[in-house]
């Protein structure tokens, strides 16, 4: 093996327990085309005993290894998608600067490699940061999804692919990115956030050594199929007359009822070769344990009593600044802990739960319907909350309804 070959042929991805089959499929496709390579998988979740029962084609990395900030906060304030993306710069910094890799390629787990990446990997050490744009040509103005404005909201570059080389400028970028994602890795396009992705729009202006990869065979996905139709020729998939390097199956439904749940522009009837690619990919997922792993529970999706954490509770936790007085927010029996506070009354004389107070203060329609929320309209607001808050906010009625009942007539 030539010096540096292992580094050039190193990839990584990040998953929770329900994406194990995706990681296996991705890594096996990488090693099939780069047999001297090595793959690392960060488990952004809690491991269970089953992980020790099977030898994997990759090396597991645990959250405790990558230098995250204070233990519970990041895990609690973000949902599964947000957390899996928020840890990305920590993981990449760990691989480059703790494990000593020269270069590393990150790929989202729902990706399948169909071609060697020799030319790219040989050139990678010349660049600090490599990004791929969502688009290399304008989208049709056909009122189908996604529109260009949708991609403006999600970011110029798709971070399902990112390649880094260990350079001073790379370390500067990772430190900057870590700081942003510690507090602002949220999925809120209306407010200008698309988890880790929108931040990278600034990278070419803020950092040197950023290379924009414009190879149409890389990161093919639903958002660029308008100019990258996938064809099958002599047993190999091609894009624009060249072998497909990798396809990103973003938004793929399990039943293959459509190309992606995020798009309306393309249909199977006009893309039979793409459908065959998808069916081959799904067959690999099944062979790699999809049926056994897809239903795995995300550990950080629940309080320690098994109650699912509503998105509103995470958002309010961020808003409050993750107060140290709450202690570990996952714990439900901690005196004056976050769980108890969520369902505690705002006052003694006209009580409503703290969680309902947050709902009310962010809903103009409720303020119009119940203007005297702490006076004559309090009981009407509580009656509404008892019925509709579980439906609209995912609050478990087993907990919520007794809380409301205990306060409604006080």
| Rounded mean pLDDT, 245-251 | 98
Q: Which two tokens stand for residue 120?
A: 């790219």
Contact 136, 170 (CB under 8 A): no
Model confidence at 70, pLDDT cuts 50, 70, 90, reads: confident
Q: pLDDT tens digits, residue range 146-163? A: 999 999 999 999 999 999
Task: Express as a percent the part of the chain with pLDDT over 90.
Answer: 90
| Rounded mean pLDDT, 264-270 | 96
CA atoms within 13 A on the CB side of 329: 29
pLDDT surpasses 70 at 4: no
Give the pLDDT score at 185: 96
Tracing tokens 């962010």 back to the chain, one arrives at 362
The single-letter DSSP state of residue 345 is: B
pLDDT surpasses 60 at 267: yes
Domain chopping of the chain, boundaries: 5-293, 302-407
Q: Is 119 exposed, middle or buried (0-12, 13-18, 19+ CB in 10 A)?
A: exposed
Contact 159, 196 (CB under 8 A): yes
| Rounded mean pLDDT, 330-343 | 93
Contact 129, 203 (CB under 8 A): yes
Give the pLDDT score at 324: 74
Give the 3-state secondary structure of 55-78. CCCCEEEEHHHCCCCCHHHHHHHC
The single-letter DSSP state of residue 97 is: I
Using only C-alpha atoms, the chain has a radius of gyration, in whole angstroms, of: 24
Q: pLDDT tens digits, residue range 216-225? A: 999 999 999 9
Q: Looking at the structure, give the CATH architecture of the domain made up of residues 5-293.
A: Alpha-Beta Complex (3.90)
Average per-residue pLDDT for the chain: 94
Model confidence at 169, pLDDT cuts 50, 70, 90, reads: very high
């Amino acid at each position: 093996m030539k010096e540096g070959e292992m580094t050039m042929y190193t990839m990584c991805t990040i998953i929770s327990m329900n994406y194990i089959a995706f990681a296996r499929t991705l890594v096996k496709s990488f090693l099939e085309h780069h047999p001297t390579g090595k793959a690392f998988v960060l488990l952004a979740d809690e491991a269970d005993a089953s992980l020790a029962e099977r030898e994997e084609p990759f090396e597991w990395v645990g959250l405790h290894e990558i230098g995250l900030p204070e233990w519970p906060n990041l895990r609690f304030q973000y949902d599964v998608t947000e957390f899996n993306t928020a840890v990305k710069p920590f993981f990449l910094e760990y691989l480059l600067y703790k494990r000593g890799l020269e270069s590393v390629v990150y790929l989202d787990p729902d990706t399948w490699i169909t071609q060697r990446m020799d030319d790219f990997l040989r050139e990678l050490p010349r660049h600090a940061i490599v990004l791929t744009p969502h688009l290399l040509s304008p989208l049709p103005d056909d009122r189908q999804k996604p529109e260009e404005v949708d991609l403006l909201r999600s970011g110029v570059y798709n971070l399902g692919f990112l390649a880094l080389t260990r350079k001073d400028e790379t370390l500067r970028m990772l430190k900057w990115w870590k700081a942003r994602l510690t507090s602002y890795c949220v999925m809120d396009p209306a407010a200008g956030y698309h988890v880790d992705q929108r931040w990278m729009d600034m990278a070419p202006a803020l950092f040197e050594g950023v290379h924009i990869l414009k190879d149409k065979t890389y990161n093919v996905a639903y958002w660029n199929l308008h100019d990258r139709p996938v064809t099958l020729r002599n047993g190999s998939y091609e894009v624009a007359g060249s072998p497909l390097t990798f396809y990103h199956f973003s938004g793929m439904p399990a039943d293959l009822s459509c190309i992606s749940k995020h798009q309306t522009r393309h249909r199977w009837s006009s893309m039979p070769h793409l459908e065959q690619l998808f069916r081959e990919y799904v067959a690999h997922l099944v062979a790699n344990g999809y049926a056994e792993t897809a239903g795995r529970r995300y550990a950080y999706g629940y309080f320690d009593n098994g109650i699912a954490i509503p998105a509103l509770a995470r958002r309010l936790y961020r808003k409050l600044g993750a107060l140290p007085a709450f202690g570990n927010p996952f714990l439900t029996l901690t005196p004056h802990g976050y769980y108890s506070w969520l369902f505690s009354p705002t006052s003694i004389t006209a009580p409503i739960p703290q969680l309902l107070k947050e709902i009310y203060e962010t809903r103009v329609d409720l303020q119009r319907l119940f203007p005297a929320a702490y006076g004559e309209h309090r009981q009407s607001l509580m009656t509404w909350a008892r019925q509709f808050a579980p439906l609209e906010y995912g609050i478990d009625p087993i907990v919520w309804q007794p809380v409301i009942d205990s306060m409604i007539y006080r």
